Structures are given as structure tokens and as C-alpha cells.
Amino acid sequence: MILRSDPSVRRQPARAQSGYSLLEILVVLTILALIAGIAPVAYRTITPALQTREAATELAVYLREAQARALHEGRDVTVFIDVENQRAWSEGEDTEATWSEKINVVAIVAASEQRSKALGAIRFFSDGGSTGGRLRFLSNGREYDVDVDWLLGIVQVSRPDTA
């Protein structure tokens, strides 16, 4: 018996299977599980550094605003820094700068502006100058300095040299 194909019946090409194989799905799920496992660890190590930098930057902005007020109003403006209660404020102002209690701040201010062991001040003069000072923000091995130049009153945030 010989089998012959009927030319009137056309063969349909085999269709490619649509969808993903079980192996492909497992590989994707494994990669997602690894990422999900690493993300919280990375977040915990990055977050304190960002909080420290953010606190330093926020205080620098507050100090720059105080200097601008002194210039604009033609009077001295004093910013008090309370390292024990994690805040800085200026008399007669409704706003203040605060930072987390997890961040240690070391304030170096002019002797004339040292009010107590935990309270100091930086005074901005109407000519743009200041009494100057340095505020070092420390948290989990991260350090940021907020420097206030005594001559020009320029406020800068920087990472200290760790050489």
C-alpha cells in the first residue's frame, strides 16, 4: 500500500506557541526576588546619608535666608543653633530649621556667640558679613559641614576632607 498526499489538501504551517515557558517565568521571578531582597538593605544604608545631607542643606538655606533678611532690612539677624534640641531659629521669625535626633551636630561659633554648651548663634550683619561658624552634621559615618564665612557671610555645604 502506497500512501500519497492529496494535492487538494494543503498543509498548514505549524504555529509557534504563544506565551512563556515555565523556565522563563521562573528566571524572571528569581531575578525579582533578588532585587526585592537587596533593595531594603540598600535603602537602609543610603537613607541616613541622604537625611544627613538634607538636614545640612536645610540649615544652610535657613542661614542664607537670614543673611538675605539682614541685607534687605539693614539690621543684624541672629540665628540660634540648639544642638541639644535639634533646631535652629531666629527671633521674630515663625520658621525654624530642624533635624533628626539621629543626627549629631557639632557647632563651632564665635566665642561672643556661645550662649551655653548646647546653644550658640551666628549673627549676620547688615553689611553682609557675619560672626562666622561651622556646623558639622554626623550620622552613621557620614559627615557634612555647613560653613559660614565671617567676612562675606557666604554659606556653603561640603563634605569634610577625610584624608
pLDDT of 86 above 60 = yes
Count of beta carbons in the 10 Å neighbourhood of residue 97: 20
pLDDT of residue 39: 72
Amino acid identity, position 141: G
Locus of grid cell 531594603? 40
Domain containing residue 56: CATH number: 3.55.40.10
- Residues 105-123: what's their mean pLDDT? 96
What is residue 60's predicted lDDT score, i.e. its pLDDT? 97
- The pLDDT confidence band at residue 91, using thresholds 50, 70 and 90, is confident
Q: Tell whether 115 is covered by a domain.
A: yes
Instruction: Assign 43 a pLDDT band (cuts: 50, 70, 90).
Output: low
Let me know: does 104 contact 142? Beta carbons within 8 Å: no
Q: Please, are residues 105 and 97 in contact by the beta-carbon 8 Å criterion?
A: no
Q: Classify residue 65: in a domain, yes or no.
A: yes
Q: What is the mean pLDDT of the chain?
A: 88
Q: How many domains does the chain have?
A: 1
89 within a domain of the structure (yes/no): yes
Residue 73 forms part of a structural domain: yes
pLDDT of 96 higher than 90 = yes
Over residues 9-21, the mean pLDDT reads: 67
Domain that holds residue 122: 22-158
Distances 108 to 63, 95, 115, 148 between C-alpha atoms, Å: 15, 23, 12, 10
* For range 143-155, the mean pLDDT: 96
Q: What angle do CA 122, 131, 159 make, to 5 degrees?
A: 70
Binned at pLDDT 50, 70 and 90, residue 46 comes out as low
Q: Is residue 43 part of a domain?
A: yes
0.85 exceeded by pTM: no
> CA–CA distance from 52 to each of 9, 10, 78, 80, 123 (Å)?
77, 74, 24, 20, 24
Q: Half-sphere exposure of residue 161, counting CA atoms within 13 Å on the CB side?
A: 1
Alpha carbon separation from 4 to 7, 9, 12, 49, 115 (Å, rounded): 9, 11, 17, 78, 107
Q: What is the DSSP string of 93-152?
A: -S-EEE--TTSEEEEEE-GGGB-SSSEEEEEE-TTS-B--EEEEEEETTEEEEEEE-TTT
Confidence category of residue 162, pLDDT binned at 50, 70, 90: low
Cell of 122: 551666628
| Percent of the chain predicted with pLDDT > 90 | 63
Measure the CA angle with vertex 149, ends 158 and 47; round to 5°: 25
Lowest mean pLDDT among 6-15, 37-46, 93-102, 119-128: 6-15
